Structure 1
Amino acid sequence: MSATVRYIRKRAFSPVVTGSLLYILTRGPESLRRPLVNILSSPANVERAKSVLKWLFALGLLGRLNSWLNSWAENGWQLYGDKKRWNWNKEIAVITGGSNGIGAGVVKGLAAKGIKCVVLDVEDLPKNMQNYANINFYKCDITSPSAVSEVASEIRSKIGNPTILVNNAGIGTSHTILLTEPEYLERLFSINVFAHYNTLQAFLPSMISANKGHVVTVASLSSFVPPVGLVHYASTKAAVMSLHEGLTSELRHLYNAPNVKTSIVHPTYARTRLLEGFEKEVKENKGVVIDPKLISDAIVRQILSGRGARVVVPQGMSLAKAIRGMPSWMQERLRDSLAPHTQSAKDMLLKR
């Protein structure tokens, strides 16, 4: 979607814009009203414009109300955030998979705000991230509970208790269900799902004790619709979506820690190394591929807001959140439309 189209779409559903135009056309001073009437050129067009603006104004208000209610619910029914409790120069963020891709972007973004960042990864930091005074690196296999526990103890003793946890690390390549090797499947779930439990069990208790923290789960749009050839990957992202929702409930109802915020991010395909294994299939199916910086920037913004949220990147695909509430026939039609239709795309998957 072009920048122009996005701009027009955003303004068309802005109650401020549509309400102002409607007021000018109906009750505004002649000096403002006359230029608009001249542009519309006829009384019939003026009436049509009024009708369209009324609908856009109403839809815009409903959209704003829905967003406000979502934010209210996602933050433990708290009207206001606790942003004042955050002192970014004193906060500590743990980011898994922070040596490249989306994770590296998150690390750089948080570090630029003065946050102490701790990267857990099996891959060393790239040279351009090794000279930051507030970026620390620990080589750690996050699929090992004992390795995570050991590193967590070292982090607490040398740096302090983390207040932000970004579970970002993930892997994925395209396979059909029948061609997915058991060993690969086990590794996939270990990194994409079980590692979340390891880091939560290591870092969440101190957040609960302080009733302050933010856990960010990096999921995918495939949490809502499993693409053909990526069912295994989508299954892990659906799993961490359930984990995110359950974590939010447990923090609120079992641990009485409503100020430990939880956010989940559902990006579309990003131009990272993870995509390299199945980029041909994505392009063949005309999938949307975006710059990973858009995703990392969205994560950083959400953390700095001091609020929890369910974030879709790009924002223009936010309707994906409603898919699971659609009637079955609509869901099936959507899945059919996203399936590979060309023989070459099918062959790519069947030969993997």
Structure 2
Amino acid sequence: MSSPELRKVPVSLPRTFDRPDEPWHRYVNVDLVWYVLGYTLFHPWVACIVVLCLRAQYTPWGAPEMRIAIAWAILMCAVGIFNIFSERIAYGVPREVDLSEEVIVITGGVDGLGGLLAETYGMRNANVAVLDTKKIDDEEAEEKGVLYYQCDVSDAKQVEAAVAEIVEDLGPPTILVSNAGVVRPKSILDSTAEDVEQTFRTNTLSHFTLLRAILPHMLRERRGTIVTVSSVLGRLGAANLASYCASKAALLALHDSLRAELAQNPDAQDIKTVLVTPGQMGTKMFAGLKTPSNFLAPVVSPAELAKSIMGLIERGESGEVSLPLYARYAGILGLLPVGVQALVRRWSGVDTAIEEGGLIVKTTTEKN
């Protein structure tokens, strides 16, 4: 009996010789240090193991090093238990997720972060539908295992029609990843009303439209996960990105309002929410921008972000994904004295990065 023929999948592997060699220290950053500490010094199990190791060496209970180790182990265990209860109070019990029974809708899923999520779930034989303005031919879609619907999410009628097709083709959506976004790097004075309106239609109003179209299906199914992709710039703001920052800031309030409304609906007990506030990602949207410090503010890869998002989705949990590390604590900046805030912004280069990267689009006007 002959073995079944293997399916050929086209793969384009990265060629290392196309990229310049980086010194080893370029790969060391605060996120890596924090990750290592989280699994060593700050891990409750490791802290307890240290106590056992000291005792195995017959260290007296009253010895200073033993007392310090015991105190540290108790502190780490207390912090770990507190975090577990805190997340349970905030987000409730995780829901059960079986990808074969889920219908995943991803906006802006042709390339970038959305494209990576769509292709990864497609390879895992999940039911994936992508809404994007870009057209994908049927052969490529079949290879990726993803259904693509050409749709402008800023148009409410197109979204409603696309969702109706998805329900007919795949079934009621149970996972929504609102990822579509545009950026128009202009100063406030150079921004036209059309620029600002289109940015808000794509980055903000589309989320309302998608929720109105998909949330009723989740409520009928009594399960679901809603992923809102915002940005750390929604908390910070930045020069020459006013419309983008404002549209992303609106998503932060939308996410909180959505959670509050779901908490009041008995049918939404198993509808989870995930807020994503990334820093600078290694995508085409902000290509060419340089961070002030590769150690303190590294560029986050879409793969790393996608891994964290998929982890929450598949564990059936609510939560927040903020990468790199500074994105998680960006809100603290507003608690600092205004002088310190000004110094931090000046050092970070958040207000000069767009201009220095040559990304500003200027509108020329003629005066009579």
Q: TM tier, shorter chain?
A: 0.7 to 0.9
Task: Give the TM-score normalised by the residue count of structure 1.
Answer: 0.81
Find the aligned partners of 1:170 and 1:141 in 2 and give their Cα distance: 11
Corresponding position of 1:183:
194
Alpha-carbon contact 1:109-1:297 (below 8 Å) kept: no
Q: Structure 2: which amino acid aligns with 1:170?
A: G
Give the unaligned 5+ runs of structure 2: 1-27, 363-368
* Match in the other structure for 1:320: 329
Determine whether 1:24 maps to 2:53.
yes
Query: C-alpha deviations, 1:287-342, integer Å up to 9, x for none?
Result: 5312211112221111101111111123x336416527735546555434434588
Rate the CA distance shift 1:185–1:9 in 2: closer, same or farther, 3 A. same
Letter in 2 for 1:214: T
Residue in structure 2 matched with residue 42 of structure 1 by the alignment:
none
1: CA distance, partners of 2:87 / 2:94: 10
Structure 1 segment 189-200 matched on structure 2, within 5 A: 189-200=200-211
Deviation at 1:138, TM superposition (A): 0.5
1:228 aligns with 2:239: yes
How far is the alpha carbon of 1:68 from its aligned partner? 2.0
Maintained 8 Å contact 1:222/1:234 = yes
Q: Does 1:335 align with 2:335?
A: no
* 1:113-124 to 2 correspondences below 5 Å: 113-124=124-135
Count how many residue pairs are aligned between Structure 1 and Structure 2: 329
Report the equivalent of 1:303: 313
Distance 2:351 2:129 in 1: 44
| 1:239 and 2:250 are equivalent in the alignment | yes
The verdict on how the C-alpha distance between 1:29 and 1:92 changes in structure 2, with shifts beyond 3 A counting, is: same
Distance 1:154 1:62 in 2: 50
Identity %: 24
Using the TM superposition, give the Cα deviation of residue 124 of structure 1 relative to its aligned residue in structure 2, in angstroms.
2.2
Number of the residue aligned with 1:72: 88
Distance 2:280 2:351 in 1: 19
Q: Is the 1:13–1:59 Cα contact (8 Å) retained in structure 2? A: no
Specify the SS of the correspondent of 1:95: strand
Q: Does 1:250 align with 2:261?
A: yes
The TM-score normalised by the length of structure 2 is 0.78
Provide the rounded CA distance (Å) in 1 between the counterparts of 2:261 and 2:112. Answer: 31
Alignment-derived partner of residue 94 in structure 2: 81
User: What does 1:56-205 align with in structure 2 at a 5 Å threshold?
Assistant: 56-57=72-73, 60-61=76-77, 63-75=79-91, 78=92, 80-83=93-96, 86-125=97-136, 129-132=140-143, 134-205=145-216
Note the aligned Cα RMSD (angstroms).
3.3
CA change 1:215–1:148 in 2 (3 A) is same
Structure 1 runs (4+) greater than 6 angstroms displaced: 341-344
In the TM superposition, what is the alpha-carbon distance from 1:226 to its structure 2 partner?
1.8
Q: Structure 1 residues 312, 201: closer, same or farther in 2, change over 3 A?
A: same
Q: Which amino acid in the other structure matches residue 305 of structure 1?
A: R
Equivalent of 1:289 in 299, 302, 306: 299
Secondary structure (helix, strand or coil) at the match of 2:322 reads strand
| 335-344 or 194-203: bigger deviation | 335-344
Distance 1:351 1:116, change over 3 A: closer
Gaps of 5+ in 1: 35-45
Q: In 1, Cα distance between the equivalents of 2:75 and 2:183?
A: 39
Q: Is the Cα–Cα contact under 8 Å of residues 229 and 349 in structure 1 kept in the other structure?
A: no
1:270–1:292 CA contact under 8 A, matched in 2: yes
Deviates more, 1:1-10 or 1:303-312: 1-10
Counterpart Cα distance in 2 of 1:161 and 1:343: 43
